[in-house]
Amino acid sequence: MTIRYSCGRVRDRCYNAFPCLSDPARRSSLALKAALLMLHLVYAGVLFLFDTDLIEKTKREPWYTALYLLLFVATLVQYFVTSGSSPGYVLDAMRYVNDTNTIFGKISTPSKQPASSKNGSTVITVEGSQLGRNLLGSNATSWTKLVLDMYPPGTSTRSLTCTYCNVEQPPRAKHCHDCDRCVLQFDHHCVWLGTCVGLGNHSRFWWYICEETALCLWTGFLYITYLRVNISRAWWKDAIIILLLVILSISLIFLLLLLLFHSYLILTNQTTYELVRRRRIPYLRGIPERVYPFSKGLCRNLYNFFCVRSNIYELERLPNAQELEEMSRPYTCLDFLRCRCC
């Protein structure tokens, strides 16, 4: 009884010192982050603790170990930055549009369309500090009009309104039940990151997988080198290294597949959600399988993903029937040269 009371008091003190721990969802997310950090430290720690040859090599060629440690730190930084970044919430975009109203003014006049809306998308520049300001006094019609313009004529607002957030969803947005918010260009909810992957952080997510894959490959190479040079010196050391190497190999296979999959999504401008639930998503129904309705060509997709999307929201409208017909026609040699193939 006394032990339980003491435990309760300690727990209450922890919650007072760290309010985030009182929320079970955030607590499990923090536990996962701590586990991931520990896993990285264990892999690097065991290597530098056991491998005397690596220590000797570090003395001779310090740049080699410095590069490895640089990748190690960069991967962890990228993980925490991605985890803390916003995936792009529909509510934030709506508040921004309603606050400024300038975008609405531009896109509602067809003759004055901004250059960035030529490819069928509306670009909303959003600085991080500007998001979420001025919650009151928003003009819902600006956002409603903007969203309706992205759908075929005759689409009702009721079918676009999220019943949880009470906000109209632009194409490619979806409500995430873990985050309890609508996310722009929803890809998936990442348990390891503790956040959604969407329009705002998909490129950061890709870079994180890329760095993690490179780190796993390099660490695996160092572990194999250790086993080749130091085998049969101390069996328990070899046993630990082999066990860690097996776990690393499984993680590496998973990471490589994930990297390839997301690279394919980037090249074709799709999301995981759109690919997996294609037949169930209303705006993708009836579109032929090999047609990627949001793709603007391989080069443009790559440029938009890596160079544009880090600090802006690009809301993409649905292609009209004529554009879909154009996308459905067979490719010619000229199309391949123009990168239309994706």
Active site residue 342: no
Cβ-proximal residues to 86 (8 Å cutoff; 6+ apart), any chain = 92, 128, 131, 200, 201
> Strand, coil or helix: what is 71?
helix
Q: Which of 165, 179, 190, 339 is catalytic?
A: 190
Q: Which is nearer to Zn ion, 174 or 296 (CB)?
A: 174
> Does 291 interact with Zn ion (rule: CB under 5 A)?
no
303, 119 in Cβ contact below 8 A? no
Q: How far is the CB of 169 from Zn ion (least distance, A)?
A: 7
Scan residues 193-222 and list those touching Zn ion (CB under 5 A).
196
Most distant CA atoms of the chain, gap in Å = 80
Helices (H), 51-139: 52-60, 62-84, 90-100, 102-107
Q: Which is nearer to Zn ion, 196 or 252 (CB)?
A: 196
**Spacing of C-alpha 208 from chain mean position:** 9
One-letter amino acid at 282 equals P
Both tokens of 193, joined, read: 């990151």
296, 117 in Cβ contact below 8 A? no
Q: How far is the CB of 101 from Zn ion (least distance, A)?
A: 23
Q: How far is the CB of 285 from Zn ion (least distance, A)?
A: 21
Q: Which is nearer to Zn ion, 46 or 179 (CB)?
A: 179
Q: Which is nearer to Zn ion, 195 or 301 (CB)?
A: 195
> Does 189 interact with Zn ion (rule: CB under 5 A)?
yes
> Does 131 interact with Zn ion (rule: CB under 5 A)?
no
- x/- contact string, 135-174, with Zn ion (CB under 5 A)? ---------------------------x-xx---------
Distance CA 212, CA 329 (A): 39
Applying CB under 5 A, among 47, 103, 123, 176 the residue interacting with Zn ion is 176
Q: How far is the CB of 155 from Zn ion (least distance, A)?
A: 18
> Does 175 interact with Zn ion (rule: CB under 5 A)?
yes
Q: How far is the CB of 138 from Zn ion (least distance, A)?
A: 16
Q: How far is the CB of 126 from Zn ion (least distance, A)?
A: 18
Q: Which is nearer to Zn ion, 182 or 222 (CB)?
A: 182
**Spacing of C-alpha 309 from chain mean position:** 11
Helices (H), the chain: 2-17, 24-50, 52-60, 62-84, 90-100, 102-107, 140-148, 157-160, 202-230, 235-268, 272-276, 298-303, 321-328, 333-337
Q: Which is nearer to Zn ion, 181 or 340 (CB)?
A: 181
Q: C-alpha distances in angstroms, 3 versus 9, 13, 14, 16, 128?
A: 10, 15, 16, 20, 46
Q: Which is nearer to Zn ion, 189 or 262 (CB)?
A: 189
- Total of chain residues touching Zn ion, rule CB under 5 A: 10
Q: How far is the CB of 177 from Zn ion (least distance, A)?
A: 8
Distance CA 315, CA 318 (A): 10
Q: C-alpha distances in angstroms, 126 versus 94, 100, 103, 159, 165?
A: 11, 11, 11, 27, 21
Site residues (vs Zn ion, CB under 5 A): 162, 164-165, 175-176, 178-179, 182, 189, 196
Question: Looking at the annotation, which residues are catalytic?
Answer: 190
